[in-house]
Amino acid sequence: MEFRIIGVKDSVVRDFYYDNELNTLRDEDKNLFEFPKEERTESFSKVHEIKVFDKNRPLVKSKFIKILKIQLGLTCNYSCTYCSQRFVERPEENTKHDIDMFMQKLENIEFSEEEGLRIELWGGEPFVYWKIMKPLTKKLKQKFSSWEKKPTYQVITNGSVLTDEIIDWIDENLTSLAVSHDGPGQFVRGPDPFDDPEKSRLLKKLYERMKGRMSFNTMMNASNMSRKKVFDWFCEKLETDYVEIGEGGIVDAYDEGGLELSLNTKEQHFKYRKTCVEDIIETEGEKTFQGTINMIDNFTHSILDHEANHISTVTQKCGMDDERTIAVDLKGNVITCQNVSAVDINSNGESHLGGNLDNIEDIKITTSTHWTQREKCQTCPVIRLCRGSCMFAQGEYFDQSCNNAYSDHIVKFALSLFKITDHMPIYIDNIELPPERRDIWGDQLKHTEDKKPKKMIPISVVQE
């Protein structure tokens, strides 16, 4: 679908045309913005076949795996307001006695040293399962001991149950680590470990030991909008001038807590968008927002290298649509993703249990919906950045997650087009979009908050 983008530079207004299917950008004379031919990636002459899946066309998994996500269990010592696991039905707890059976079941899938293998260990809070994690990792390393190119090992933790022993183990065994922490917005997650002198000492020690292999993962929400404030907060706590923020973007709404912390008014959406762009422009896109800057740069490159990036190549945000990425528990159960359980039922009425490693050929994930099967995704200008939000979200939770994601990614979209055209996009002229999505910064139309079902009111664009 083609979108007319109105951009402004020094009161000069220009039109640009972005095609989300072909990933092309043209000016008002239909001239194409692109790299010189010799700098372009080899083009795909054929449209790639999208592996469409939904409840009636299950997502299947391959026996050749590149990313192995192991869920140790869902127990956590925190109860974050927007946690995707908060109301997931808990299965029977795993124990270290499950490890040998799990390792045996791994024999039913295949791995390639040449292609590489990433192993992720997940909770709940993973280090609640410390007595399982240690022997499991040892067994995994023994399994791949003959590989010269070793698998990578990753963990995400809330950082509140660290000990000196755990930190030593992390340094010796993990390739990378992320600490989930929202900086000044941590209060929606739970107690701040930085407020406890001993936990703060351990976090600082961990950061020093894992520098270059560790990030703090922050989720933005309606009460925590500024990435600059997050960055400055961590720098102050860690007494440094740089800290890597692994941005998780804005929250998805999985339950009432997620809905509450979402951008629930047009005023909040516009405030969030303006805060994001002001933060990036103020810092000139330096290290403060490296994750966001990388996304902008990659999207910019993909537009200018458009021939190598047909919409059929766009994968889901989480990557769980990849048949070679698999999430399992220690019973060998294959589940939708690491945030659910084998005994949990999705809101579409389907079980999150897709099968077991004993019969990998019979795996069927029926909880998820590919973005091509979502009503609004194909007519969205930011689909290549958003990539369909959560695969298994349904109903009002998906709708709200979609709204959150749009405001998060329209900023990256606008800054990318600004880099290419030197004109800042202010309005997207397309009838498929509601007014609050067309008006990027909220300055071109008159917006009233919805008290009744949404009603489209045509209002002229105000141009400088």
The predicted-structure confidence for 115-129, as pLDDT tens digits, reads as follows: 999 999 999 999 999
pLDDT interval class at 308 (50, 70, 90): low
Q: What single string gives the DSSP state of each residue in 45-109?
A: -SPPPP---BTTB-B---SB-SEEEEE--S--S---TT-TTTTPPP-PPP-GGGHHHHHHHGGGS
Quote the pLDDT of residue 309: 75
Chain-centre distance of CA 202, in angstroms? 28
Quote the pLDDT of residue 285: 65
Asked if 167 and 205 touch (Cβ cutoff 8 Å), the reply is yes
According to DSSP, the residues that pair with 70 across neighbouring strands are: 121, 328
pLDDT higher than threshold 80 for residue 107: yes
Helix (H) or strand (E) holding 283: none
Chain-centre distance of CA 344, in angstroms? 22
pLDDT interval class at 203 (50, 70, 90): very high
pLDDT higher than threshold 90 for residue 90: no
Quote the pLDDT of residue 23: 93
DSSP 43: P
More confident residue, 290 or 409: 409
Residue type, 100: D
CA dihedral 346→180→151→321, nearest 10 degrees, is: 30
Report in angstroms the alpha-carbon separations of 156 from 90, 129, 301: 20, 13, 30
pLDDT higher than threshold 90 for residue 356: yes
Angle between helices 164-173 and 197-209 (to 10 degrees): 20
Residue-wise pLDDT tens digits, 407-460: 999 999 999 999 999 999 999 999 999 999 999 999 999 999 986 444 333 333
Asked if 340 and 352 touch (Cβ cutoff 8 Å), the reply is yes
Quote the pLDDT of residue 291: 81
Asked if 405 and 386 touch (Cβ cutoff 8 Å), the reply is yes
pLDDT interval class at 293 (50, 70, 90): confident
Q: How far apart are CA 441 and CA 126, in angstroms?
A: 40
* Four-way CATH pick for 49-425: 3.40.1390.20, 3.30.559.10, 3.20.20.70, 3.90.1310.10: 3.20.20.70
Label the pairing between strands 24-27 and 67-71: unpaired
Residue-wise pLDDT tens digits, 162-186: 999 999 999 999 999 999 999 999 9
pLDDT interval class at 85 (50, 70, 90): confident
Quote the pLDDT of residue 45: 45
Query: What is the sign, positive or negative, of the torsion defined by CA atoms of 90, 259, 291, 296?
Result: positive
The three-state secondary structure class of 443 is coil
Quote the pLDDT of residue 282: 82
Quote the pLDDT of residue 421: 98
Out of 4-13, 256-265, 299-308, which region has the weakest mean confidence (pLDDT)? 299-308
- Mean confidence (pLDDT) of the chain: 91
